[in-house]
Amino acid sequence: MTNRIVIVGGGFCGAVLAANLLRRAPDRTEIVLIERGPEIGRGLAYARSDYPHLLNVPAGRLSADASDPLQFLHFAQTTLPEAGAEDFLPRQLYGAYLQEFLNRAERESRQATLTRVAGEVTRIGRHAVHGLLEAGFPDRAPITAARIVLAVGNPPPPAMPWADPVRDHPAYHDNPWVSPMPFGDKDSVLIIGNGLTMADVVASVCDGAAPMPRVMTISRRGLVPLPQSTFHAAANRGDGAGLLERAHSMRQLLAASRSMAREVAGLGGDWREVVTFIRNLAPLLWQRLPEPERRRFVRHAQGHWDIHRHRLPPQLAGRIDSLRRSGRLAINAGRIEALTPAGERLKVTWRPRGSAVANTVVVDAVINAMGPDYSLRRSRDPLLQHLRRDGWICEDALNLGLRTGPLGACVGADGRESGQLYYLGPMLRAHHWEATAAAELRNHAERLAQHLAPAGA
The DSSP-derived string for 125-169 is: EE-TTT--EEEE-SSS--EEESEEEE---PPPPP--GGGGGGTT-
Virtual torsion, Cα 235, 311, 322, 363, nearest 10 deg: -170
Residue 213's domain comprises 161-226+312-368
Are 66 and 124 found together in one domain?
A: yes
Nearest-angstrom CA–CA distance, 74 and 80: 9
Are 21 and 91 found together in one domain?
A: yes
pLDDT of residue 384: 96
Are 173 and 301 found together in one domain?
A: no
Are 210 and 336 found together in one domain?
A: yes
Taking only the tens place, the pLDDT of each residue in 57-92 is 999 999 999 999 999 999 999 999 999 999 999 999
Nearest-angstrom CA–CA distance, 378 and 52: 32
Taking only the tens place, the pLDDT of each residue in 220-237 is 999 999 999 876 655 445
In what helix (H) or strand (E) does residue 243 lie, and over which residues does it extend? helix 240-245
pLDDT of residue 3: 86
Are 111 and 86 found together in one domain?
A: yes
Are 304 and 239 found together in one domain?
A: yes
- For residue 46, the domain's CATH number is 3.50.50.60
Are 263 and 171 found together in one domain?
A: no
Nearest-angstrom CA–CA distance, 36 and 219: 31
**What is residue 182's three-state secondary structure?**
coil
Tell me, what amino acid is at 290? Answer: P
pLDDT of residue 403: 97
Q: Exposed, middle or buried, 298 (CB in 10 Å: 0-12/13-18/19+)?
A: middle
pLDDT of residue 209: 61
Q: Average pLDDT of the chain?
A: 90
Are 65 and 98 found together in one domain?
A: yes
Q: Does 262 reside within a domain?
A: yes
Taking only the tens place, the pLDDT of each residue in 264-306 is 888 888 899 889 888 888 898 899 899 999 999 999 999 999 9
For residue 268, is it left (φ>0), alpha (ψ between -120 and 50) or beta? left
Are 43 and 167 found together in one domain?
A: no
Average confidence (pLDDT) over 44-48 = 74
Q: Does 457 reside within a domain?
A: no
CB distance 116 to 56 below 8 Å: no
Are 32 and 59 found together in one domain?
A: yes
Nearest-angstrom CA–CA distance, 55 and 35: 23
CB distance 136 to 130 below 8 Å: no
Instruction: Tally the domains of the chain.
Output: 3
**Has residue 455 got a pLDDT over 60?**
no
Q: Which of 259, 267, 279 is nearest to 235 (CA)?
A: 267
**Has residue 176 got a pLDDT over 80?**
yes
**What is residue 173's three-state secondary structure?**
strand
Q: Does 277 reside within a domain?
A: yes
* Selected residue with higher pLDDT from 150 and 453: 150
Q: Where are the beta strands (DSSP E) in 179-244?
A: 188-192, 214-219
**Has residue 170 got a pLDDT over 90?**
yes
Are 152 and 182 found together in one domain?
A: no
Nearest-angstrom CA–CA distance, 438 and 440: 6
CB distance 454 to 23 below 8 Å: no
CB distance 75 to 100 below 8 Å: yes
pLDDT of residue 303: 94
Residue 456's pLDDT band (cuts 50, 70, 90):
very low
In the listed set 294, 309, 324, which residue is the last one of a domain according to the structure?
309
Are 136 and 165 found together in one domain?
A: no
**Has residue 21 got a pLDDT over 50?**
yes
Q: Does 248 reside within a domain?
A: yes
Return the number of other C-beta atoms located less than 10 Å from residue 75's C-beta. 22
